């Protein structure tokens, strides 16, 4: 087991912006050991008053869209042109690519990973989506308390993970390729509906014209959706991470969104709603964990499931019988 410190020691280190302590605290919230849970919650609770002051940006897009290259370019832009301290967290429950090691990501975002104004943390390996989203959410709080004022949460846009990311960020950016067709890109309609902005990537060289055409197309498509509760009309822009163009426009879009939603109160409301949503999610998870950990449930579950399978017991009756055991 990794070395553990007192809650005060973690808190002191995080608030001082000590990256080693931040990493250790994130390892702590990623741990599912029962003995780590209380300590992790103690640390989170203590740093909570110092968190929340960042802009949380979710970024998604299918493999090949250029996420890493984009985040590297956009991240450097945020640091250099907007004077931000940036943390990049990844949600990728299927990820084999990093095996949970920081080294894996060093090769993905080379210049960001050595930038003292940036902190990159790959997705914890070998975890369920629920496990990853929970620890990422808590990691956001830890990073904010450590002084990072821009948080990028990155995910692959092909599964359910983008819904989870959407529920923990202020602004959701969808990266898309020009001319590949929505279906080809595996982008589901629901994801486009969640986007506050779409950026068409790789708008350089021969691709530049195609990207502009795609921008017009997507902008039209977005007009067909009902106006969002935020009052914000999603924007589409083009960018090239390679040539570092369009990054400023994307930041201006995010900034306009923040201005609008701070003004109309949506920003705060959304964060409150997200907090409540996570509370209910934590309750649901806690109840489920307790249920499956209960000795009588462990003893009887398989037998009762067999009876349901064989058609001797209804699913509802079986569930009720099991629930009564707890």
Ligand X SMILES: Nc1nc2c(ncn2[C@@H]2O[C@H](COP(=O)(O)OP(=O)(O)OP(=O)(O)O)[C@@H](O)[C@H]2O)c(=O)[nH]1
Binding site for ligand X (CB under 6 A): 61, 63-69, 108, 201-202, 204, 240-242
Q: Closest separation between CB of residue 119 and ligand X, Å?
A: 17
Q: Closest separation between CB of residue 218 and ligand X, Å?
A: 17
Q: Closest separation between CB of residue 298 and ligand X, Å?
A: 39
Query: What DSSP assignment string belongs to 150-218?
Result: EEEEEEETTSSHHHHHHTT-SEEEEEE-TTS-TTTTT--HHHHHH-SEEEE---STTHHHHHHHHHHHH
Mapped onto helix, strand or coil, the DSSP state of residue 260 is: helix
Residue 223 · residue 54 · CB < 8 Å: no
Residue 272 · residue 297 · CB < 8 Å: no
CA 10 to each of CA 45, 51, 111, 144: distance values in angstroms, whole numbers, following the listed order: 12, 15, 28, 14
Q: Closest separation between CB of residue 156 and ligand X, Å?
A: 6
* Cα distance between residue 217 and residue 214, in whole Å: 5
Q: Closest separation between CB of residue 163 and ligand X, Å?
A: 18
Q: Hey, which bits of the chain come out as E strands?
A: 55-61, 86-91, 118-121, 150-156, 171-176, 197-200, 235-238
Task: Return the bridge partners of 307, or none.
Answer: none
Residue 291 · residue 319 · CB < 8 Å: no
Q: Closest separation between CB of residue 124 and ligand X, Å?
A: 17
Instruction: Count CB atoms within 10 A of the CB of residue 131.
Output: 15
């Amino acid at each position: 087991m990794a070395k553990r410190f007192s809650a005060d020691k973690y808190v002191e280190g995080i608030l001082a912006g000590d990256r080693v302590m931040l990493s250790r605290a994130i390892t702590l919230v990623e741990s599912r050991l029962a003995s780590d849970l209380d300590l992790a919650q103690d640390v989170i609770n203590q740093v909570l008053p110092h968190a929340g002051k960042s802009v949380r940006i979710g970024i998604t897009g299918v493999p090949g869209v250029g996420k890493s290259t984009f985040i590297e370019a956009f991240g450097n832009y945020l640091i250099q042109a907007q004077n931000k301290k940036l943390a990049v967290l990844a949600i990728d429950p299927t990820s084999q690519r990093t095996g949970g090691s920081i080294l894996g990501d060093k090769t993905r975002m080379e210049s960001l990973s050595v930038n003292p104004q940036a902190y990159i943390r790959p997705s914890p390996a070998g975890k369920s989506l629920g496990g990853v989203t929970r620890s990422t959410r808590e990691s956001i709080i830890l990073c904010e308390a450590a002084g990072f004022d821009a948080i990028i949460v990155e995910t692959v846009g092909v599964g359910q993970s983008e819904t989870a990311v959407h529920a923990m960020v202020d602004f959701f950016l969808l990266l898309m390729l020009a001319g590949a067709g929505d279906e080809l890109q595996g982008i589901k309609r629901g994801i486009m509906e969640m986007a506050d902005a779409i950026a068409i990537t790789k708008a350089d060289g021969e691709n530049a014209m195609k990207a502009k055409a795609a921008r017009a197309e997507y902008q039209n498509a977005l007009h067909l959706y009902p106006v969002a509760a935020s009052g914000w009309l999603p924007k589409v822009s083009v960018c090239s991470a390679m040539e570092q163009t369009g990054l400023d426009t994307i930041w201006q879009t995010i900034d306009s969104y923040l201005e609008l939603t701070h003004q109309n109160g949506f920003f705060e409301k959304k964060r409150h709603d997200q907090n409540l949503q996570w509370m209910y999610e934590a309750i649901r998870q806690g109840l489920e964990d307790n249920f499956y950990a209960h000795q009588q449930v462990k003893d009887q579950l398989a037998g009762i499931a067999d009876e349901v399978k064989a058609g001797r017991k209804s699913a509802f009756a079986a569930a009720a019988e099991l629930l009564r055991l707890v």
